């Protein structure tokens, strides 16, 4: 118990020191990033590239829909190409106070499969994104420490370390399964609060993946991730998502985000 209390106390001391040193609250920065205005809803067509260390590529095309509901966002992703993946659909319901719900529809066997908590560290459709990476966890699950300021791709950023509370000894998270990453380091652009880069560390504290948003721009007045990459540092494999078309506020409703929609042909 004393060791756990000391761990939490040390993290809090570090937080206070960094707020004083840099004049910004790391946790508030992460909250502003989480709540960036993305319109009421949006849809996008995307190109997904899976790239081996050798340079060999596999390309998929997907369409993505999202309904913004504060702490309870819903999203649907449907694969269109190649033919072998056509109709595969992925549905997510995000929750603030409980585990997120995720379902994957596999048309080859006409089955909707629920993704369990134990599976969420696994690869999503053979990519370098895990099921956990496909959602943005709520900032309240983390202790955030401002490490400093750095420039990424010519943009001034805050560098923040994010430690999931399953690793801090917080008694409220005692019953939670350990988060996939023991910590992450996030680079947040100062003028937009957009996330441009993240380093992920495994449960032993070793760096395992790097996320990099290589094209961020405003579309219809909304900051939009047009191109993003995830690299597996152990294998050298990379996954790139590139948006080819995006539309905001198209009038989506909650009825669109259910298991029946997963099975529909598009």
Name 163's bridge partners. 143
Q: What's the mean pLDDT in 2-25? A: 48
| pLDDT for res 266 | 72
Give the pair of three-digit tokens for residue 174. 């005692």
User: pLDDT tens, 247-260?
Assistant: 999 999 999 999 88
How many angstroms separate the CA atoms of 26 and 43, rounded?
31
The pLDDT confidence band at residue 147, using thresholds 50, 70 and 90, is very high
Q: Which residues pair with 164 in a beta bridge?
A: 142
Assign residue 174 a region (left: φ > 0; alpha: ψ between -120 and 50; beta: otherwise): alpha
42 neighbors 69 (Cβ within 8 angstroms):
no
pLDDT at 152 over 80: yes
pLDDT for 161 beyond 60: yes
pLDDT per residue as tens digits for the range 15-28: 444 444 445 799 99
The predicted pLDDT at position 13 comes to: 42
In the structure encoding, which two tokens stand for residue 181, read together?
């990453």
Is the predicted pLDDT of residue 4 greater than 80, yes or no?
no
- Cα dist. 17→6, 26, 132, 140, 160 in Å? 16, 11, 31, 20, 13
Asked which of 48-57, 88-97, 231-240 is least confident by mean pLDDT, the reply is: 88-97
In this predicted model, what pLDDT tens digit does every residue of 78-130 receive, in sequence order?
999 999 999 999 999 998 777 889 999 999 999 999 999 889 999 999 999 99
Give the pLDDT confidence score for residue 69 in this predicted structure: 80
How many percent of the chain have pLDDT more than 90?
A: 77
Question: Candidates 2.40.128.130, 3.40.1190.20, 2.50.20.10, 1.10.287.70; correct CATH number of 2-262?
Answer: 2.50.20.10
| 143: number of Cβ within 10 Å | 21
Report pLDDT digits (tens) over 195-205.
999 999 999 99
How many angstroms separate the CA atoms of 20 and 94, rounded?
34
Question: 0.85 exceeded by the pTM?
Answer: yes
Q: What is the pLDDT of residue 63?
A: 97
Mean pLDDT score of the chain, rounded to an integer? Answer: 90
pLDDT for the residue 23: 55
CB 172 within 8 A of CB 165: yes
């Amino acid at each position: 118990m004393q060791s756990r209390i000391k761990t939490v106390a040390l993290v809090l001391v570090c937080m206070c020191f960094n707020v004083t040193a840099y004049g910004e609250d790391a946790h508030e920065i992460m909250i502003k990033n989480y709540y960036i205005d993305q319109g009421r809803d949006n849809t996008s067509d995307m190109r997904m590239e899976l790239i081996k260390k050798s340079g060999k590529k596999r390309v998929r095309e997907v369409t993505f829909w999202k309904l913004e509901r504060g702490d309870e966002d819903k999203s649907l992703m449907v694969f269109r190409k190649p033919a072998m993946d056509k109709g595969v659909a992925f549905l997510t319901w995000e929750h603030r106070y409980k585990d997120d719900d995720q379902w994957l529809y596999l048309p080859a066997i006409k089955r909707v499969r629920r993704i369990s908590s134990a599976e969420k560290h696994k690869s999503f459709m053979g990519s370098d994104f895990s099921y956990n990476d496909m959602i943005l966890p709520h900032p309240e699950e983390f202790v955030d420490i401002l490490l400093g300021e750095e420039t990424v791709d010519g943009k001034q950023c805050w560098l923040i370390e994010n430690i999931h509370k399953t690793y801090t000894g917080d008694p409220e998270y005692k019953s939670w399964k350990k988060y996939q990453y023991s910590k992450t380091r996030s680079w947040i652009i100062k003028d937009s609060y957009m996330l441009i880069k993240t380093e992920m560390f495994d449960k032993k504290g070793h760096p395992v993946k790097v996320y990099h948003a290589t094209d961020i721009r405003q579309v219809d007045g909304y900051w939009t991730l047009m191109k993003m990459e995830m690299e597996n540092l152990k294998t050298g494999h990379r996954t790139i998502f590139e948006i080819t078309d995006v539309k905001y506020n198209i009038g989506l409703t909650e009825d669109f985000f259910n298991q029946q929609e997963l099975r529909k042909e598009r």
